[in-house]
């Protein structure tokens, strides 16, 4: 009897959802040929909390809470993104002071997010130490957020028509203190990465993302700018006060993990630049639009549709709202940048080694609260 | 006069053979206690040092300055339930951690600790082929890693074992060639260059100065042997969960963990014996052991600093590095050693 069983040359491996380097609950189905990844299939949905639907069942002002919990390391940018759409829909314009405050907080939040990413990227590559350094730096930011909003991570600071409370002298002092000391400390930490030959060899030329592939997948943010496309919502369609400050959009033409790393590094420095200008430009005046005062907030009605797009630390964050004239939105839809960025992993993860796959998926900057929502 | 002879003297009423057998047993026990103490100390020191490097405090709750943390962790590991994976290869799965730890402990009885006042030397085996013996014992440890990897019935463990094997074969040849250079240069001044005690005693100039390339190769090999970052391919923390030890828990995991830290210390001891003159230094006959420990601890600190500041090298790059850089370098090292011997510098 001659039965030849087809010998399966490949090994299937489930990476995640519980795995040290999948940043939360990403599951990667890998097809391996020895150490080489032949196919990678990201499976998502393990952190799905139905945030969009819950928002539809809530008042406009309450929906903000769920946006905090999307990209939880960058919650202030998420709030700014939601309010961009909600205020268009509800027809409430925040006063100028509130806009400046939001700009500052969103930029600080971007720094906080990139810091976490850098630390986690170090862990992905097997470096333990920078993780603690960046969290040390981030702690100062969290103190600022605590002073402003009373909460460290899920701030719920901005609200429809303005912000929850005004900047006082202490917050302004803390922010000034932070932006003065931060660039030097940041450089120190980043030298740990970029002056290390092993780090360079692990990232340089790894995970090449071509420009047209990136655009066709809808990749945005540092991933896109790392592939040489000069696109940033802050410049392309300025919101808040980004047209009144002077800053640059870093672009890398290297298209690899190292390029994306350096883009994020430079973005942090540009954020400091923005905050430095903004903190001196805050005008006096109300921080809250009286049309949306707290007792009336749940009675705000929206009709029609509105789309607000902002640049979160991961890419273009879009919120689409449809109102039917009641106090609750009819439809809430989020364009999550990380979800789009993750989809390109299938292209990047072909014929690479497992170690490179970890480096590539780390360079996407995944936060699963936002991918799964 | 070392501990062995003293114990034998005490036991002499038992007769010649019995007293020697008893003395060897007791001294082996002393060496084992030393090894375990060192490993526990290494774990504590590593955690404290890592905390200092990373702007943290480290263990400070159990005992003064957290010194009892290691014991608390050990007790916790002992109390844990043993969970066995389904479909394992039972015997290799169970003996793998024992092999790793046994290989480590055995090596501790051969290392030439120098004299310490009245106690003399702690070394149990004064073999004439000590250097071969110690590297034979070191070669046992990877067998444990491989057993652990292939018997766990886990793909991560299997990949970890494959990586460990690829890593082992790429550094062991350069390592043994650098040992050969040591033996060559030691044979100038002694008729028994395979004896570790002789290698220590002929180092008027430490071999590390005569053979810096050899020192470099050997130090890298010791990092790869102990398997910590940047060469922790067997474990590959962030890629393969924990590689070959993925399926281990409780005391078995503890044995692997102790094996890791013990190997760091052992590797540092070997570098200091072979390249930095071991216990030689001022007042060698009375405090040689102290010199030996100082050299070792400095090397341990260097090793831990390397560990804490480096990312992991990709396995194919390490294999390339082993065969294409370390191997030619070790041949060059042999040639240089020959020139040194011919030139009469040693």
Which domains, from first to last, does chain A contain? 11-372 (1.10.645.10)
- The pLDDT of A10-23, averaged and rounded, is 80
Give tens-digit pLDDT for A102-142.
898 889 999 999 999 998 888 888 888 888 989 888 888 89
Is A199 in the B-facing interface, judged by CB distances under 8 Å? yes
- In the structure, what pLDDT confidence band is assigned to residue B158 with cuts at 50, 70 and 90? confident
Among A124, A127, A136, the residue with its CB nearest the CB of B55 is A136
CB contact under 8 A, B310 and A356: no
Give the position of tokens 């040092």: B49
d(CA B129, CA B2): 20
- The pLDDT of A209-220, averaged and rounded, is 89
Is A132 in the B-facing interface, judged by CB distances under 8 Å? yes
Q: Which of A256, A344, A313 is nearest to A74 (CA)?
A: A313
Whether pLDDT at B192 is above 70 = yes
Whether pLDDT at A204 is above 60 = yes
Does some domain include residue B64? no
Please give, rounded to a whole number of angstroms, the shortest distance from the CA of A38 to a CA of chain B: 15
Q: Which of B139, B135, B161, B167 is nearest to B148 (CA)?
A: B161
Closest-CA residue in chain B for A362?
A: B238
At residue B40, the pLDDT reads 86
Among A21, A128, A192, the residue with its CB nearest the CB of B239 is A21
Does some domain include residue B62? no
At residue B316, the pLDDT reads 87
Does some domain include residue B42? no
Contacts of B47 in chain A (CB under 8 A): none
Reduced to 3 states (helix: H, G, I; strand: E, B; else coil), residue B113 is coil
At residue A1, the pLDDT reads 54
At residue A284, the pLDDT reads 85
Does some domain include residue B100? yes
The total domain count for chain B is: 1
At residue A35, the pLDDT reads 83
At residue B25, the pLDDT reads 84
At residue A2, the pLDDT reads 59
What CA dihedral angle connects B55, B59, B61 and B64, to 10 degrees? -100
Among B55, B240, B314, the residue with its CB nearest the CB of A132 is B55
Q: Which of A45, A83, A46 is nearest to A63 (CA)?
A: A83
Task: Select from A18, A129, A195 the residue whose CB has the most chain B CBs within 10 Å, as the one to mutate to test that interface.
Answer: A129
Does some domain include residue B41? no
Among A20, A34, A131, the residue with its CB nearest the CB of B237 is A20
- The pLDDT of A230-250, averaged and rounded, is 87
Contacts of B304 in chain A (CB under 8 A): none
Provide the CA A292 distance to its chain's centre, in angstroms. 28
Contacts of B50 in chain A (CB under 8 A): 128
CB contact under 8 A, B239 and A358: yes
Does some domain include residue B126? yes
Does some domain include residue B52? no
Is A135 in the B-facing interface, judged by CB distances under 8 Å? no
Contacts of B54 in chain A (CB under 8 A): 128-129, 131-133
CB contact under 8 A, A128 and B232: no
Q: How many residue contacts between A and B have a Cβ separation below 8 Å?
A: 82
Q: Which of A44, A12, A54 is nearest to A29 (CA)?
A: A12
At residue A6, the pLDDT reads 62
Please give, rounded to a whole number of angstroms, the shortest distance from the CA of B83 to a CA of chain A: 18
At residue A31, the pLDDT reads 86
Closest-CA residue in chain B for A192?
A: B309
What would the DSSP string read from start to end of B206-239? -HHHH-HHHHHHHHHHHHHHHT-TTS-TTT-TTT
Closest-CA residue in chain A for B312?
A: A126
Does some domain include residue B96? yes
Q: Which residues contact residue B33 at a Cβ distance below 8 angstroms, ignoring those fewer than 6 apart?
A: none
CB contact under 8 A, B238 and A354: no
Enter the tokens of residue A86.
Answer: 């909600």
Task: Select from A37, A119, A126, A188 the residue whose CB has the most chain B CBs within 10 Å, as the one to mutate to test that interface.
Answer: A126
Among A20, A21, A199, the residue with its CB nearest the CB of B311 is A199
Q: Which domain holds residue B120?
A: 83-343
Closest-CA residue in chain B for A120?
A: B238
Q: What is the DSSP letter of B312?
A: P
Q: Which of A343, A290, A359 is nearest to A37 (CA)?
A: A359
Whether pLDDT at B97 is above 70 = yes
CB contact under 8 A, A355 and B239: yes
At residue A5, the pLDDT reads 64
At residue B106, the pLDDT reads 84
CB contact under 8 A, A126 and B156: no
At residue A7, the pLDDT reads 62
CB contact under 8 A, A196 and B310: yes
The 3-state secondary structure of chain A reads CCCCCCCCCCEEEEECCCCCCCCCCCEEEEEEECCEEEEEEEECCCCCCCHHHHHHCCCHHHHHHHHHCCCCCCHHHHHHHHHHHHHHHHCCCCCHHHHHHHHHHHHHHHHHHHHHHHHHHHHHCCCCHHHHHHHHHHHHHHHHHHHHHCCCCCCCCEECCEECCCCCHHHHHHHHHHHHHHHHHHHHHHHHHHCCHHHHHHHCCCCCCCHHHHHHCCCCCHHHHCCCCCCCHHHHCCCCCHHHCCCCCCCCCCCCHHHHHHHHHHHHHHHHHHHHHHHHHCCCCCCECHHHCHHHHHHCCCEEEEEEEEECCCCEEEEEEEEECCCCEEEEEEECHHHHHHHCHHHHCCCEEHHHHHHHHHHCCCCHHHHHC
Whether pLDDT at B117 is above 80 = no
At residue B78, the pLDDT reads 86
């Amino acid at each position: 009897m001659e039965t030849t069983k087809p010998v399966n040359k490949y090994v299937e491996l489930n990476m995640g959802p519980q795995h040290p380097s999948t940043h939360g609950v990403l599951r990667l189905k890998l097809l391996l040929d020895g150490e080489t990844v032949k196919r990678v299939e990201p499976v998502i949905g393990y952190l799905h909390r139905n945030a969009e639907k819950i928002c539809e069942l809530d008042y406009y002002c309450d929906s903000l809470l769920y946006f905090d919990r999307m990209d939880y390391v960058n919650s202030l940018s998420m709030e700014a993104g939601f309010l961009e759409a909600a205020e268009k829909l509800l027809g409430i314009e925040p006063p100028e002071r509130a806009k400046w405050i939001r700009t500052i907080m969103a930029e600080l939040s971007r720094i906080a997010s990139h810091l976490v990413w850098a630390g986690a990227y170090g862990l992905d590559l097997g470096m333990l130490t920078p993780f603690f350094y960046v969290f040390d730096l981030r702690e100062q930011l969290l103190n600022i957020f605590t002073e402003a909003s009373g909460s460290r991570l899920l701030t719920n600071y901005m609200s429809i028509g303005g912000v929850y409370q005004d900047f006082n002298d202490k917050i302004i002092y803390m922010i000034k203190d932070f932006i003065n000391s931060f660039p030097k400390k940041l450089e120190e930490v980043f030298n740990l990465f970029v002056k290390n030959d092993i780090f360079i060899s692990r990232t340089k030329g790894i995970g090449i993302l071509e420009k047209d592939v990136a655009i066709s997948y809808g990749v945005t943010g540092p991933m896109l700018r790392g592939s040489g496309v000069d696109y940033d919502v802050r410049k392309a369609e300025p919101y808040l006060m980004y047209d009144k400050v002077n800053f640059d959009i870093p672009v890398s033409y290297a298209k690899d993990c190292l390029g994306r790393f350096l883009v994020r590094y430079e973005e942090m420095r540009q954020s400091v630049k923005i905050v430095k200008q903004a903190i001196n430009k805050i005008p006096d005046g109300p921080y809250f639009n009286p049309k949306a005062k707290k007792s009336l907030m749940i009675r705000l009605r929206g009709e029609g549709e509105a789309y607000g797009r902002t640049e979160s630390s991961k890419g273009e964050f879009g919120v689409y709202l449809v109102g039917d004239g009641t106090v609750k939105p009819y439809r809430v839809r989020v364009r999550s940048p990380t979800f789009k960025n993750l989809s390109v992993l299938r292209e990047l993860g072909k014929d690479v080694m497992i170690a490179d796959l970890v480096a590539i998926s780390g360079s996407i900057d995944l936060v699963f609260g936002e991918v799964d929502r | 006069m070392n501990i062995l002879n003293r114990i034998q003297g005490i036991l002499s009423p038992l007769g010649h053979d019995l007293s020697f057998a008893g003395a060897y047993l007791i001294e082996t026990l002393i060496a084992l206690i030393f090894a375990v103490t060192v490993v526990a100390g290494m774990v504590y020191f590593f955690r404290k040092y890592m905390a200092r490097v990373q702007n943290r405090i480290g263990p400070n709750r159990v005992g003064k300055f957290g010194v009892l943390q290691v014991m608390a962790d050990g007790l916790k590991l002992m109390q844990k339930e043993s969970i066995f994976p389904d479909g394992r290869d039972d015997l290799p799965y169970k003996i793998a951690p024992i092999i790793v730890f046994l290989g480590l402990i055995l090596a501790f009885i051969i290392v030439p600790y120098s004299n310490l006042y009245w106690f003399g030397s702690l070394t149990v085996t004064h073999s004439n082929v000590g250097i071969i013996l110690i590297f034979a014992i070191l070669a046992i440890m990877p067998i444990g890693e491989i057993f652990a990897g292939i018997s766990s019935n886990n793909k991560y463990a299997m990949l970890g074992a494959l990586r460990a094997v690829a890593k082992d074969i790429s550094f062991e040849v350069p390592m043994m060639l650098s040992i050969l250079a040591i033996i060559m240069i030691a044979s100038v001044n002694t008729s028994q260059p395979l004896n570790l005690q002789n290698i220590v005693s002929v180092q008027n100039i430490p071999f590390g100065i005569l053979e810096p390339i050899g020192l470099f190769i050997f130090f890298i090999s010791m990092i790869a042997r102990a398997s910590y970052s940047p060469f922790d391919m067997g474990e590959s923390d962030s890629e393969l969960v924990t590689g070959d030890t993925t399926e281990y828990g409780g005391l078995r995991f503890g044995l692997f963990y102790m094996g890791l830290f013990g190997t760091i210390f052992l590797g540092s001891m070997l570098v200091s014996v072979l390249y930095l003159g071991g216990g030689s230094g001022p007042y060698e006959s009375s405090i040689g052991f102290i010199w030996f420990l100082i050299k070792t601890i400095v090397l341990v600190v260097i090793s831990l600093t390397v560990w804490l500041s480096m990312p992991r090298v990709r396995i194919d790059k390490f294999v390339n590095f082993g065969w294409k850089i370390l191997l030619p370098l070790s041949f060059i090292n042999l040639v240089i050693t020959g020139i040194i011997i011919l030139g009469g510098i040693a």
